[in-house]
Amino acid sequence: MSRTTTSSKTLRPMTAAAIEAAARADRDAQPLTAEDLKRMKRTPQAKIIRRALALTQEEFAVCYHIPLGTLRDWEQGRAQPDRPTQAYLKIIACEPERVERLLNQGT
C-alpha cells in the first residue's frame, strides 16, 4: 500500500475570481436561473417551523390551535396561510414556548 503525502509548498491557493471561474466552467454545477427558481417547489414555512420544533403535525396543530386539515393543506401546498396567519407563524417561530403558554393559560 502506498502513501501519498502533499507538501504545502505545492499547494497554490485560488483567488476568489479563480474559484468563481472554475465553478462557472463546471457544466454540471451552473447557478440557478430565475426560471429554475420559479419551477422549484418551496418548502412551506409552517412545515419548516414545525420541524424545527420537532413536533408532529398533530402536536403542532393542538399546541398552537391550528386545525389539522388546514396545517396539512399548508404543508402540502394546497393552500397558503393568509397575512395574519403568516404573522402568527412568525411569532411561533420566534417565541414558541411563550405562544404555547399564552394560548393554554386557561386550560
The answer, as to whether pTM is greater than 0.95, is: no
> What is the grid cell recorded at 70?
388546514
Cell 403535525 belongs to 57
Dump pLDDT digits (tens) for 36-92.
Answer: 888 876 667 999 999 999 999 999 999 999 999 999 999 998 999 999 999 999 999
Whether 89 and 71 have beta carbons less than 8 Å apart is answered as no
Which residue is it, cell 507538501?
Answer: 7
> pLDDT tens digit string along 27-37?
888 888 888 88
Class of domain 39-103: mainly alpha
